[in-house]
Amino acid sequence: MTKKTDTILTHAGSNPHEYHGAVSVPVHRMSTVVFKSYAEFEEAEKTYEGAEMPDAPFAYGRVGTPTSAAFEDAIAAIEGAYKSLSTCSGLAAILTALTAFTAAGDHILMPDNCYGPNRRACEEVLRKYGVDVEYYPPLTKDITKLFKANTKLVFIEAPGSITFEISDIGAIVSAAKKAGIKVAMDNSWATPLFLKPLELGVDVSVMSATKYISGHSDAVLGVVSATPESWPAVKRAAIVLGLCAGSEELYLATRGLRTLHVRMERHQKSAFDIAQWLEKHPAVKRVLHPALPSCPGHDNWKKYYKGSSGTFGIVLKESRREKAAAMLDGMRVFRTGLSWGGFESLLFPKQPHTCRTAEPWNEDGFSLRLHIGLEDVGDLKDDLEAGFGRLK
């Protein structure tokens, strides 16, 4: 029986009869593993050998536990991946993909609208170790022009952080494949419910499981998923760097998976309703929501995605800091904070001008990222309406 994603989400990773019939996956707090014999110890030590670093048996907490295996099996099932690997954060998952396929002297292409800390890691780690990092316009029509003889990896983040452009994933993948270049993609926004990057030919998909996967703003966690060809390099990178996830976080994220489809449906519906309302609002200059035709790259969204999540951007007509502060400080339901993907609505004031180099951001209005949580939509609109009133 081939199961649909909703069914997989409900059960994946759980084997109740291995733990006394309990439906939930146990939290294994484990560093040391002891062995019944020297022969078994030798077997476990093989974890570190060979290209693929065989998974079983468990040898030491950092290289995998039954709790991490449960989460990873579930993610691999919904991503359609050969295997997945959990990391201590989404940023660590990105670094796993970046370091797995690059060495000093290589060139990589990063989207100009990528997640800020990702860009910082490229500048302060990869560049320091001799990797030439170049930023490309996310809506480029011809990525091939930017390929060099030493280009090893193209990274895609769609939609882009803050500005929400949707790249032409298929075009980038086919150009890269022809040139023998790996493609990695940040799939945190869509989750595998709305996009399965590996089905589009992407080699490695990374997610911040901190966001929608955990869904409750109480855990920091990342995950990398790969094809059979890319898996050995990904696994080696994460294990050699020691980027393992904590048991409690893995438990919370596995628990989050059980309701992911229900939450995403509601995030999608509420956020799209509010985005359409904002598009007609006189205080708002632009709405950057991938499912709206006005969003740069909307056609790519229509072509590749099955849905949209609860996170999008707006540019206000107002640009003054003090006015924006009055709006933010008086909110009664929305709160101001980093991150997104939890049950609660958030506003994130972030001006893209300083974080782009390939393509300048020329909007002069104040930019806000909205995350639409699971509250009543009417209450959220009332809160925003009152906030826009404070801009006057």
Catalytic residues: 62, 115, 186, 211
254 counts as binding ligand PLP under rule CB under 6 A: no
166 counts as binding ligand PLP under rule CB under 6 A: no
214 counts as binding ligand PLP under rule CB under 6 A: no
351 counts as binding ligand PLP under rule CB under 6 A: no
Site string for ligand PLP, 186-205 (x = CB under 6 A): x-x-----------------
Identity of the residue numbered 120: R
Q: What is the smallest separation between the CB atom of 367 and ligand PLP, expressed in angstroms? A: 15
Q: Total number of residues binding ligand PLP (CB under 6 A)?
A: 12
Q: What is the smallest separation between the CB atom of 90 and ligand PLP, expressed in angstroms? A: 2
Spatial distance between the Cα atoms of 119 and 113, rounded to a whole number of angstroms: 9
Q: What is the smallest separation between the CB atom of 207 and ligand PLP, expressed in angstroms? A: 8
**Which CB atom, from 178 or from 335, has the smaller least distance to ligand PLP?**
335
Spatial distance between the Cα atoms of 39 and 133, rounded to a whole number of angstroms: 46
**Which CB atom, from 71 or from 115, has the smaller least distance to ligand PLP?**
115
Closest by Cα among 93, 82, 212 to 73: 82
Among 96, 99, 113, 208, binds ligand PLP (CB under 6 A): 208
Judged by CB under 6 A, the stretch of 16-24, 29-37, 49-57, 84-92 that binds ligand PLP is: 84-92
Among 210, 225, 230, 300, binds ligand PLP (CB under 6 A): 210
Spatial distance between the Cα atoms of 178 and 198, rounded to a whole number of angstroms: 17
Which phi and psi (to 5°) does residue 349 adopt? -80, 115
115 counts as binding ligand PLP under rule CB under 6 A: yes
**Which CB atom, from 78 or from 283, has the smaller least distance to ligand PLP?**
78
135 counts as binding ligand PLP under rule CB under 6 A: no
Buried b or exposed e, range 344-360, using 16+ CB within 10 angstroms: bbbbbebbbeebbebbe
310 counts as binding ligand PLP under rule CB under 6 A: no
Q: Which residue is nearest to ligand PLP (CB)?
A: 90
Site for ligand PLP in 19-38 (CB under 6 A): none
Judged by CB under 6 A, the stretch of 19-27, 86-94, 104-112, 279-287 that binds ligand PLP is: 86-94
Among 222, 310, 373, 387, binds ligand PLP (CB under 6 A): 222
Give residues in contact with ligand PLP (CB under 6 A): 89-91, 115, 157, 161, 186, 188, 208, 210, 220, 222
